[in-house]
Amino acid sequence: MDKEVSSLKHLFVTVFLSNFAIMVVNPAIIDITMDAICPSQDKCSLAIYLSGFQQAIVGLGSMLLMPLIGNLSDVYGRKALLTIPVTLLIFPSVIMAYRRTTNYFYAYYVVRTLTGMVSDTGIQCLPIAYAADCMPEGKRASAIGIVAGVGSAAFVCSTFAVRFLSTAQIFLISSISSSAAAIYMTIFLEDTNRHINTDEDPVNQPILLANNANECTSDSSPKNIPPFYHVICLLKSSTTLLLATAISFLYGLAEGGIQTPFLYFLRARFGYNKDNLAVLMLICYGGATFTQLILVPRLAPIIGEETILCLALIAGFSNMLIDSIAWVAWVPYVVALFPMFLFLAKPALQSIVSKQVGPNEQGIAQGCISGISSFANILSPFIYSPLTDLFLSERAPFNYPGFSMFCIGLAWLIAIIPSVMIRFGTCDSRRKIRDILC
């Protein structure tokens, strides 16, 4: 790891601890939800719809808040805004660590829904903006890939931990991890400077260096711009950003489908429990950790983020196509290797977006893309939850229990079209300071 990437070590630790706190509860939450709502049942429509409703509300909140939070991070600093989602992670886990009765489950459900609007997406997009601040464009894809890889590594470690922890211990460990993340970043993580040094080479120098205030083409600053208006201006400023928006929407639509409906499909179809899901996720994220930490830094300079994005989307469609026609319980384990390439799509897209905007816009750009993805997450449960319930029941119009899984993969297949249309211009992001472009 070179010196510039190693300078992000405190960010990596914060990302790891935060993602560990989120992900360690995922394999257990399906069983907890079923036990609280439909005890002693393998199929439960209410649990599917309740989880889908939570996902939709979290997506709606994220859609509205992420561009604002990203914009505020451009103004007040990445660290200050990153502290908010990291701290909010603590509260839901504390509730379930204390007690797991039905009433406490509903309390957890409400608190997790409210805090998830900020924490789920905030912990994903703000570290990307932080890394973009600290890296020159030539190394930005590698840094973003490593940030994503650290998140995947957290998932692998959390999945291992779930295998050896009771349900009570899972939420206790989650509480400790989220608290440690908040304390660690407060002490060790330094904020970035998001300006340009025009005396240095604009391609090879990190963009966190200070610049002369006269570089701005307008006296206005992000503080004076309504976030929604700034988002529209940003999207209109580049064809690549418009295409990235379409990809983010389609990716988020499919991603929302594998968050809850896919897990209920596996439980209903093959009787998967907490341990089965943990093993499946371990395979997925173990491969993703390898590709994000090892392959992306080596492949991105050679074949480019656009090619990586296309290959990742093809892998996603192939994965869901095979899962939809799975005939025995071991098939999902075998095809779980496809996500090791699918999970390259998001860091590739984030790297593409980061190169289209200036250093004073990294936060709002990443927040905008995350917000679009969250909007797709709102729609996803309304599409895939009823579809999953229908085709797993006796009311299915034809015998294809995995039809909803095929539809999830179809969204990734369609996303390939705008991904192949993306072409970079010759102007690099360091010269694109659009504090008020339109």
Whether 17 has a pLDDT exceeding 50, the answer reads yes
b (16+ CB within 10 A) / e for 116-145 = bbbbbbbbbbbbbbbbbbbbbbebbbbbbb
Spatial separation of the C-alpha atoms in residues 231 and 304, rounded to whole Å? 26
Q: What is the pLDDT of residue 183?
A: 94
Spatial separation of the C-alpha atoms in residues 20 and 158, rounded to whole Å? 6
Report yes or no: 306 and 419 within 8 Å, Cβ to Cβ: yes
Report yes or no: 352 and 296 within 8 Å, Cβ to Cβ: no
Q: What is the pLDDT of residue 251?
A: 92
Report yes or no: 224 and 209 within 8 Å, Cβ to Cβ: no
Report yes or no: 85 and 114 within 8 Å, Cβ to Cβ: no
Render 303-355 in DSSP notation, one character per residue: HHHHHHHHHHHHHHHHHHHHHHT--STTHHHHHTTTHHHHTTHHHHHHHHHHT
Report yes or no: 146 and 290 within 8 Å, Cβ to Cβ: no
How confident is the model over 61-111, as pLDDT tens digits? 888 888 888 888 888 888 888 999 999 999 998 988 888 788 888 899 999
Whether 189 has a pLDDT exceeding 70, the answer reads yes
Report yes or no: 324 and 274 within 8 Å, Cβ to Cβ: no
**Secondary structure of 83-103 in HEC code, one letter for each residue:** HHHHHHCHHHHHHHHHCCCHH
Q: Which two tokens stand for residue 271?
A: 């009787």
Mean pLDDT of 99-125: 88
Q: How confident is the model at residue 115 (pLDDT cuts 50, 70, 90)?
A: very high
Q: Which two tokens stand for residue 159?
A: 């999945």
Q: What is the pLDDT of residue 292?
A: 85
Q: How confident is the model at residue 173 (pLDDT cuts 50, 70, 90)?
A: very high
How confident is the model over 274-293, as pLDDT tens digits? 677 778 877 888 888 888 88
Least confident of 16-30, 208-222, 239-253: 208-222
Spatial separation of the C-alpha atoms in residues 69 and 84, rounded to whole Å? 10
Q: How confident is the model at residue 429 (pLDDT cuts 50, 70, 90)?
A: very low
**Phi, psi torsion values for 85, nearest 5 degrees:** -65, -35
Q: pTM for the complete prediction?
A: 0.76
Mean pLDDT of 218-247: 67
Mean pLDDT of 416-429: 67
CA distances from 121 to 127, 324, 345 (A): 10, 28, 16
Q: How confident is the model at residue 214 (pLDDT cuts 50, 70, 90)?
A: very low
Spatial separation of the C-alpha atoms in residues 48 and 389, rounded to whole Å? 8
Residue 353 amino acid letter: V
Spatial separation of the C-alpha atoms in residues 291 and 295, rounded to whole Å? 5
